[in-house]
A and B are shown apart, each in its own frame.
Chain A
Amino acid sequence: MAEKLGVYICGGCDIGANLDVDALAQFVAGGKHSAAVTVAKANPVLCSPEGKAEIEADIAAQGLDGVVCCACTPRAKWDVFRFGEKVQVERVSLREHCVWSFQDDPAFPGQMEVIAKDYINMGVSKLTKSRIPAPEITESYKTVLVVGGGYAGLNAALNAASLGYPVVLVEKADTLGGKAATMYKSFPLSGSFGDKTQEIGVKELIAEVQANDKIKVITGTTVESLAGAPAKYKATIGGTVYEIGAVVMATGWVPGKTKFLAPLGYGKVKNVVTSAEFEAMAKNGGIKTAEGKAPTSVAFIVDTSLLMKGVNYDACGAACAAPEDMPCKEDQPAEAADECEVFTYEDKESAKHLAYSSELTSLVALKQANYVRELAPDAMAYVIYDHMMVPGINEKYYQTAQDDPGIMLTKGTVTSVEEAGSEVVIKAKNTLIGDDIAISADLVVVPTAIVPTTAADPTMNFVYRQGPAFPDLDLFDGFADSNYICFPYETRRTGVYAAGCVRQPMGLGLAAEDAAGAALKAIQCIESANRGVSVHPRSGDLSFPEFNFMRCTQCKRCTEECPFGALDDDEKGTPMPNPTRCRRCGTCMGACPERVISFANYGIDQIGSAIKEVKVPDTLDAGGPRVIILACENDAYPALDMAAMRGRSWSPYVRFLSVRCLGSVNAIWVADAMSKGVDGLLMLGCKYGDDYQCHFVKGSELCNRRKENIAESLGRLGVEPERVEQYEVSIDMYDKVPDMIDDFVSNIVNNFGPNPFKGY
Chain B
Amino acid sequence: MSNNSILVVGGGFAGITAALEAAEVGYEVYIVETNPYLGGRVAQLNQYFPKLCPPSCGLEIQFQRIKNNPKVKVLTMASVASVSGSAGDYDVKITQRPRYVNERCTACGDCETAAVTTVDSEFDFGVGKRKTAYKTHPFMFPMRYVVDADNASDSELAAIKDACKYDAVDLDDKARSIDLKVGTIVVATGWKPYDIAKLTNLGGGKVPNVVTNMQFERLAAPNGPTGGKILRPSDGTEPKRIAFVQCAGSRDQNHLNYCSYICCMASLKHVRYIRERGDANVTVYYIDLRTPGRYDKFKVMTEADDKLTLVKGKVAAIVDDGFGNPVVTVENAITGIKSDEKYDMVVLATGMEPSIAGLKVPAGAVDADGFVIDGDGIIAAGCAKQPFDVMKTAQSGTAAAMKAIKTVVGR
Contacts and interface: CB of A to CB of B under 8 A. Distances in A.
Contacts of B20: 539
A356 B399 contact: no
Contacts of B396: 513
B358 interface: no
A520 interface: yes
Interface in A465-492: 476, 479, 481, 483-489
Contacts of B334: 411, 430-432, 435
B402 A391 contact: no
B101 to A, nearest CB: 14
B261 interface: yes
A718 to B, nearest CB: 39
Contacts of B50: 691
Contacts of B399: 513-514, 516-517, 520
B158 interface: no
A313 B297 contact: yes
Given A12-B165, A505-B293, A537-B61, A162 B406 contact: yes
B278 interface: no
A732 B52 CA distance: 11
B226 interface: no
Interface in B383-411: 386-388, 390-392, 394-396, 398-399, 401-403, 405-406, 409-410
A505 B388 CA distance: 15
Contacts of A118: none
B333 A432 contact: yes
Interface in B243-263: 251, 257-261
B69 interface: yes
Contacts of A732: 46-47, 54, 56-57, 221-223
Given A504-B293, A513-B395, A537-B64, A691 B51 contact: yes
Contact of B401 (A395, A483, A520, A528): A520
B390 A389 contact: no
Contacts of A411: 288, 312, 333-334
Interface string B105-128: 011110000000000000000000
Contacts of B386: 392-393
Given A487-B394, A635-B60, A358 B293 contact: yes
Contact of B106 (A72, A435, A485, A523): A72
Contacts of B289: 387
A389 B257 contact: no
A537 B62 CA distance: 8
Interface string A381-411: 0000101111111111001000000000001
Contacts of B64: 537, 634
B30 to A, nearest CB: 16
Contacts of B241: none
Interface string A633-670: 01100100010011000000000000000000000000
A734 interface: yes
A731 interface: yes
B354 to A, nearest CB: 12
A687 B46 CA distance: 17
A695 B25 CA distance: 21
Contacts of A399: 257
Contact of A45 (B65, B166, B395): B166
B61 A486 contact: yes
A485 B259 contact: no
B260 A392 contact: yes
B60 A731 contact: yes
Interface string A27-50: 000000000000000000101110
A687 B53 CA distance: 9
B108 A78 contact: no
Contacts of A78: 67
A486 B13 contact: yes
Contacts of B392: 510
Nearest to B168: A48
B319 to A, nearest CB: 27
B21 A520 contact: yes
Given A162-B409, A519-B402, A486 B166 contact: no
Interface in A245-293: none
A430 B107 CA distance: 58
B402 A520 contact: yes
B290 A539 contact: no
Contacts of A355: 293, 296-297
A516 B166 contact: no
B165 A735 contact: no
Nearest to A354: B296
A232 interface: no
A521 B398 contact: yes
Contacts of B165: 12, 45
Given A388-B288, A390-B259, A520-B405, A731 B56 contact: yes
A481 B51 CA distance: 14
B69 A540 contact: yes
A418 interface: no
A419 interface: no
A276 B223 CA distance: 49
Contacts of B166: 12, 45, 48
A357 interface: yes
B157 to A, nearest CB: 22
A76 interface: yes
Contacts of B398: 488-489, 516-518, 520-521
B259 A731 contact: no
Contacts of A72: 106
A735 to B, nearest CB: 5
B261 A392 contact: yes
Contacts of B307: none
A730 interface: yes
A390 B53 CA distance: 26
Contacts of A357: 293
A72 B64 CA distance: 17
A524 B21 contact: yes
B395 A517 contact: yes
A358 B292 contact: yes
B57 A645 contact: no
Interface in B174-207: none
Contacts of A359: 292-293
A339 interface: no
A623 to B, nearest CB: 30
B60 A389 contact: no
A359 B290 CA distance: 8
B143 interface: yes
A79 interface: yes
A730 B51 contact: no
B106 A635 contact: no
A514 B395 contact: yes
A515 to B, nearest CB: 8
Contacts of A733: 222
A540 B223 CA distance: 31
A13 interface: yes
A143 interface: no
A313 B57 contact: no
A391 B290 contact: yes
Interface in A528-554: 528, 535-537, 539-541
A521 B21 contact: yes
Interface string B256-299: 01111100100000000000000000000000111111101100
26 contacts: A49-B104, A75-B143, A355-B296, A358-B293, A388-B288, A390-B259, A390-B290, A391-B264, A392-B261, A392-B388, A395-B259, A396-B258, A432-B333, A485-B58, A486-B13, A486-B57, A488-B395, A488-B398, A504-B293, A504-B294, A516-B403, A517-B21, A517-B398, A520-B25, A691-B52, A731-B57
Interface of B: 13, 20-22, 24-26, 46-48, 50-62, 64-65, 67-69, 104, 106-109, 138-139, 143, 165-166, 221-223, 227-228, 251, 257-261, 264, 288-294, 296-297, 300-301, 312, 333-334, 371, 386-388, 390-392, 394-396, 398-399, 401-403, 405-406, 409-410
Q: Which 3 A-B pairs have the closest CB atoms?
A: A486-B58, A517-B398, A359-B292
